[in-house]
Amino acid sequence: MSEISREQLHAYLDDALSDAEMARIEQALRDSEPLRRALRQAMQERDRGEHSLGAVWRRERLTCPTREQLGSYLLQVLDEEQQDYIEFHLQVIECPYCVANLADLQALQQEAPPQARERRRRFFQSSAGYLHVSRDTKKNETRRK
């Protein structure tokens, strides 16, 4: 049990570990009753609404870059420190949330131009229709008054 920390158990519960680390902890849980008790305790803490600094930090993923920052990382337009931090976060920490977000951005970046234009056209039409309905609603409300 001493090999696996409380923080690692919380990361395990959040599915925020690499596949190899998840497998290692799962095997350790099978082999160790004290570790299973520690996991149950961690789950109870969550059920009670643990509000420690570490819990808030993990829950809110405060170290994760924003989607906009990940996009800028892909374009390599960040300053060197930010670029290095995001690279560390993705390659060393292997944050599953950010790795998935980056993969999505890369897929969008590789999308064929006609598909991208069609997607933008649909977004614009749906937004324009919403704005048109919204204006009509406001006009009708003003007329009723």
Residue 1 has a pLDDT of: 43
CA separation for the pair 7, 125 (Å, rounded): 47
CA separation for the pair 119, 51 (Å, rounded): 41
139: its two tokens: 């006009």
Could you tell me which residues come within 8 angstroms of residue 35 by beta carbon, excluding any fewer than 6 positions away? 1, 4, 28, 29
In order along its 145 residues, the chain shows pLDDT tens digits of 448 988 888 888 888 777 888 899 999 999 999 999 999 998 888 777 766 676 677 677 888 999 999 999 999 999 999 999 999 999 988 888 899 899 999 988 886 677 767 777 777 777 665 665 555 555 556 566 5
Residue 84 has a pLDDT of: 96
